[in-house]
Structure 1
């Protein structure tokens, strides 16, 4: 059998609302008309989503026909750090921040990439090679829809 590439119509976000398997409710949709396939895949790989000032942690994702489902846990207000730039969304930006469990997670590098395939190259790695810094182990990843960027948090060397 040959696999025919699915046409993804929408990326649908759900919030986990209870402890049961079916305890979740839809809260956001990204239509495919506004988002390229590679961008939809990149969003699904991120550990966290920041949207409208709130932070959500990815629990799991699934395929359902022409929709992609992401089930998230609401973690409350998004953590804010120093040096948080606002981007216009015309360029694809990845921020590399040194993860610290307490306090600020400082920006160590900002990288503008050409395509979401470039973003996928970083998001699919456990160890990334950060320009001018070198190899670092990834702690977590985030798509910050408010600031229009991706963030990779890396562990101290």
Structure 2
């Protein structure tokens, strides 16, 4: 007998991901950024000057998904694209001075939006740990380790 949609863990995770995307989209709109663009910037703020393949790996995105996001960030002057000197097919992406200067404003907007209530302050760390464990488990399942 098939379980109801509302009882499925996968559906709850799906809904939570959609809610996060909506929340971030509203918060990032004044900066002209989408949620995927913000994720790329987060990766570059952590470690500037990365290749497309390293960004794909960090963000768990395919090249076909990431390339249009990177192209938009280049067009909007958030990142700079430099062809690799060793591999003509590869490129390096680095933050522009605008992206570096705007980072604190974006971080402040995110903090203000996410932590305007006590829920994420008190429950966030435990939720993050549980979702991290779930992702590790699912990755092992997908690799056939279980």
Task: Answer yes or no: same fold by TM over 0.5.
Answer: no
TM-score between both structures, scaled by the size of structure 1 = 0.24
In our comparison, the structure showing a higher alpha carbon Rg is 2
More RCO (CA 8 Å, sep 6+): 1
Greater helix fraction, Structure 1 or Structure 2: 2
